Amino acid sequence: MLYQIEDWKTVKENVQKTLNIKISREKFSVNAFDLPGTKMIKVPDFENLSDDELFQILINLHNLSGMLYVVTHICHKDGFGPFLLEANRLEGLVKNYVNIFQETFFDTNAIIISLNEKLVWMFHHSGFVGLFDYSKQLGT
């Protein structure tokens, strides 16, 4: 299986506990993550980049491993929740996303969370990317 859908409550609890952060909304978005010292990087001409090209920017920031939570626009719709998948399946989800959901993966905001590595990678709909390393904050 490429991915499974998780319930928002479980994901929120796991993220809060593991990253030692407080998230106010159950269906959280990019605004839930703020780590002092993390710089958001502008992606030039992001509107003209494909999902594959934006995914390569992710890989260049950090090659994720292990189990990941993925939050995209579709996750906020009724009957959906965050995706849970192995990191080695993430590229497959990105490549097949438009065929499955009839919208691009990076249509709006996208959040990829590695609880194992305590990392949050974010694409903001205004064309910025960031990698939030919570392991440094937690001293692990």
Domain boundaries, the chain: 4-26+38-138
| C-alpha to C-alpha distances, 93 to 33, 55, 77, nearest whole angstrom | 23, 11, 18
Instruction: Give the amino acid at 50.
Output: S
What pLDDT sits at residue 139?
53
What pLDDT sits at residue 30?
84
Q: Is 9 helix (H, G, I), strand (E, B) or coil?
A: helix
Confidence of residue 15 (pLDDT cuts 50, 70, 90): very high
* Average predicted confidence (pLDDT) for the chain: 90
Q: What angle do CA 120, 122, 124 make, to 5 degrees?
A: 155
pLDDT at 37 exceeding the cut of 70:
no
**What's the pLDDT tens digit per position in 45-80?**
999 999 999 999 988 999 889 999 999 999 999 889
